[in-house]
Amino acid sequence: MPELPEVETTRRGLLPLAAGRHIKQVVIRDPRLRWPVPATLPARVRGHRIETLTRRGKYLLFDLDDASSLIVHLGMSGSLRAVRAAEPPAAHEAFDLCLDSGWCLRMRDPRRFGALLWAADARAHPLLAHLGPEPLGGALAGDLLYEASRRRTVAVRDFLIDSHVIAGIGNIYANEALFTAGIDPRRAAGRIGRTRYRRLSYAVIRVLEDAIAQGGTTLRDFAGGDGRPGHFQMALRVYGRAGEPCPGCGAPVMRQTLSGRSCFFCRHCQR
DNA sequence: CATAGCACCTGAGGGC
DNA sequence: TGCCCTCAGGTGCTAT
């Protein structure tokens, strides 16, 4: 479910509640996530102060006062929202991070692809250490994508959603950025020139920033930390719009499966 | 090392 | 209404 804009929306929604609060307790209702939630985790973090809430790619990091972090990943179907401690848990609500303020940050994750982990040094954790650069915040330049793509034969859509190349881009925003940049998502990454990668990097930044400004994309039931859905789905131009007219030329948007995942594009506007 | 395919799960939606 | 099928926003692991 969540890509970078949805994770960032969650982060911004929860930051005011989390920063500076102490963790009263962590309640694990269902440890069966992507990796089992360590049984020792609640005791390890209880009583610690949350210094801040940051994001790396699609990972949320609750940075604690001893320099350790709680790592949360929302997987495909996860959402994290604030509820009052007395709120009875519903189905698929795997855990609560209960704060000393009476608020609980409650994870709902029906498919259980999400994660809750603890690390003494989150940035050095194996899951995070090899992530590519952040697309926002100035690190992304077209030249970076160009250099990284040399001799790569994978489709550029697959190249873009590879978190080891660049962090945070998923299927929705890869498709949208490629449309904006006028690049055929099926084209081999290594056969795209420097100029077009510059255009693509601008498109990635623009699409992600626009989506964040809209509170992310709500396809089914995504909600930010404040429980409100995003609205970027209204602004999607090709994703999920097979058969609808291309906003550029009016020809029907095409859908094709690429590496097992749907790809949407306009065969005239994207080359 | 790069690539392709599989695996992990549940729920929604469409066709009949 | 119910059954069966397909599909879904992620990503690590394995075999080649």
Distance B10 C1' – A113 CA (angstroms): 10
Please, which pLDDT band fits residue A77 given cuts at 50, 70 and 90?
very high
Please, which pLDDT band fits residue A223 given cuts at 50, 70 and 90?
low
**pLDDT at res. A222:** 63
Please, which pLDDT band fits residue A11 given cuts at 50, 70 and 90?
very high
**pLDDT at res. A231:** 84
Task: Reply yes or no on whether A3 is catalytic.
Answer: yes
Q: Lowest-confidence range among A20-29, A140-149, A219-228?
A: A219-228
- Say if residue A229's pLDDT is above 70: yes
- List the nucleotides on chain C closer than 7 A to a protein CB: 7-12
**pLDDT at res. A217:** 83
- pLDDT, tens digit (0-9, with 9 covering 90-100), for A23-35: 999 999 999 999 9
Q: Lowest-confidence range among A10-19, A131-140, A222-231, A249-258?
A: A222-231
Calculate the average pLDDT of chain A.
95
Of all nucleotides, the one whose C1′ comes closest to residue A149's CA is: B2
- Say if residue A251's pLDDT is above 70: yes
At how many degrees (to 10) do helices A4-18 and A194-213 cross? 40
- pLDDT, tens digit (0-9, with 9 covering 90-100), for A152-173: 999 999 999 999 999 999 999 9
A166 or A234, which is more confident: A166
Check A46, A84, A261, A271 and give the catalytic one: A261
- List the nucleotides on chain B closer than 7 A to a protein CB: 2-13
**pLDDT at res. A125:** 97
pTM value surpassing 0.85 = yes
Task: Reply yes or no on whether A93 is catalytic.
Answer: no
